[in-house]
Amino acid sequence: YLERQATIESNARAYPRRLPIVIASGRGVVVRDVDGRDYIDCLAGAGALALGHSHPAVIQAIRQALDDGAPLQTLDLPTPLKDEFTRTLFESLPAAFAEDYKIHFCGPTGADAVEAALKLVKTATGRKGVLAFHGAYHGMTQGAMSVTGDTAPKIPAEGRAADVQFLPFPSEYRCPFGMGAQASAEISARSLEAALEDPSCGLLPPAALIMEIVQGEGGVNPAPDDWLRKVREITARHGVLLIVDEVQTGLGRTGRLYAFEQPDILPDVVILSKAIGGGLPLSVILYRRELDVWRPGAHAGTFRGNQLAFAAGAAAIRFVMSNHLERHAQAAGARLQSLLTGIAAETSCIGHVRGRGLMRGVEIHDPRSVGAAAGVGVVPSASAIARRVQEECLRRGLIVELGGRHGVVVRFLPPLVATLAEIDEIAQRFGEAVK
């Protein structure tokens, strides 16, 4: 079947090269291919499927909208479904949002919302510069790519705008010169201060700093809470807006409904997509009222009124909230972390296990490489081992994705509805693949 598959032949340079399966259906954490083989899906729409595949709450909401004759597309115009979505989304956010923040619907993709956020902060401040972090991922459009770190081959040199300065992101593992995580966070905070105080950097003062709380595509790098509070304090002191990209972390993934709640900070702009659409395409930005500077029509687009996405998204958000899936993600994630750590202890090719909630990463290293033990000196062979592990996982019915600059981090993003038994099964299959 694969050989006859038109999608794979015509679209050969995308995922199908590394995940050569043809998915026919999905339910919960499992997808079934056209030959009837089941796989546990730890990619789950790159985190978009918080409730897994074909969740009854989402399916029912979509059916209901269709039965009610909802228009499929209404541009930016208000509708009852859009209203209900907005109300539900604000209910899921900290109370400050209902009072002080506005929402702007951005379109189908996360990158659409990143573009909107970058444009908004420039309009609001009259400044052009933006600060971003190495290892960051914000999307594949030109603006989003400009603030995305070095994740070759995704970022060609010609993709960057000139007015972005990159800063080091704290690391629990890959610390320069073998220093600890604490030192790494201090260096990162000092770099931020220096960038804002040094008149030679040419950006002064930048409009905003854009960041993820847990870098996803960059290799599942969580930022420490006290560092995040420091970043909030430094940016506020310098009058630089803080944009938090929660496209991947939002709606329970990290063990809190929103990852910025853990350090208890309030960003100036929040970017949301993926899970908030219940699996359908939807993205928004939320921003402080005083940033509401766009004149009507200043930021427009056609596909911002997907009524089925509003219905599916509202259902997904309600389900996550009423079942406290963020707490489940916390507990299930802790279990996954401990099982993965156990697997790491029995092999020499895993350097580090990390993450928050149900967003976990296992960093592969090649024990034969010089410096591997100190967390430095990634060599191409570690990437080859990671690819092999991914392949072996697939053979055992487990879909995982690779991340990080060198593709050496095996990423786990199972749906938040994964049971503890399913988490055990994921770890079991991964352990066998590693062996």
Give residues in contact with ligand PMP (CB under 6 A): 46, 109-111, 114, 137-139, 212, 216-217, 245, 247-248, 273
- Say which residue the tokens 């115009």 belong to: 77
CB of 275 to ligand PMP, least distance (A): 11
- Say which residue the tokens 């916390």 belong to: 330
Nearest to ligand PMP of 195, 247 (CB atom)? 247
Residue 415, burial from CB neighbour count under 10 angstroms (0-12, 13-18, 19+): buried
Nearest to ligand PMP of 110, 375 (CB atom)? 110
CB of 326 to ligand PMP, least distance (A): 18
Nearest to ligand PMP of 62, 211 (CB atom)? 211
- Name the residue with the smallest CB distance to ligand PMP: 110
- Backbone Cα Rg of the chain: 21
- CA separation for the pair 130, 166 (Å, rounded): 9
Q: Minimal CA–CA distance to 217: which of 249, 185, 262, 187?
A: 249
The amino acid occupying position 94 is P
Nearest to ligand PMP of 273, 383 (CB atom)? 273
**How far apart, in Å, do the first and last CA atoms of the chain sit?**
30
CB of 223 to ligand PMP, least distance (A): 13
Q: Which residues contact 320 (CB under 8 A, 6 or more apart)?
A: 50, 51, 92, 251, 252, 257, 275, 326, 416
- CA separation for the pair 163, 231 (Å, rounded): 20
Angstrom distances, CA of residue 235 to CA of 184, 229, 361, 410: 19, 10, 29, 33
Nearest to ligand PMP of 214, 433 (CB atom)? 214
Nearest to ligand PMP of 268, 366 (CB atom)? 268
Nearest to ligand PMP of 137, 173 (CB atom)? 137
CB of 259 to ligand PMP, least distance (A): 10
Angstrom distances, CA of residue 27 to CA of 50, 60, 123, 430: 12, 14, 44, 21
The amino acid occupying position 386 is A
CB of 215 to ligand PMP, least distance (A): 8
Nearest to ligand PMP of 108, 375 (CB atom)? 108
Exposure of 158 in the CB half-sphere (CA atoms within 13 A): 0
- Tokens linked to 40: 């546990």
Residue 31, burial from CB neighbour count under 10 angstroms (0-12, 13-18, 19+): buried
- Say which residue the tokens 């009854």 belong to: 56
CB of 420 to ligand PMP, least distance (A): 26
CB of 271 to ligand PMP, least distance (A): 7
Q: What residues pair up with 32 in beta bridges, in sequence order?
A: 25, 38
Nearest to ligand PMP of 52, 110 (CB atom)? 110
CB of 64 to ligand PMP, least distance (A): 26
Determine contact, residues 236/266, Cβ cutoff 8 Å: no
Nearest to ligand PMP of 142, 419 (CB atom)? 142
CB of 247 to ligand PMP, least distance (A): 4
**Angle, CA 136 vertex, CA 377 and CA 364 arms, to 5°:** 35
Nearest to ligand PMP of 51, 385 (CB atom)? 51
Rounded to 5 degrees, what are φ and ψ at 302?
A: -75, -50
How many other C-beta atoms lie within 10 A of the C-beta of residue 38?
14
CB of 301 to ligand PMP, least distance (A): 14
CB of 397 to ligand PMP, least distance (A): 24
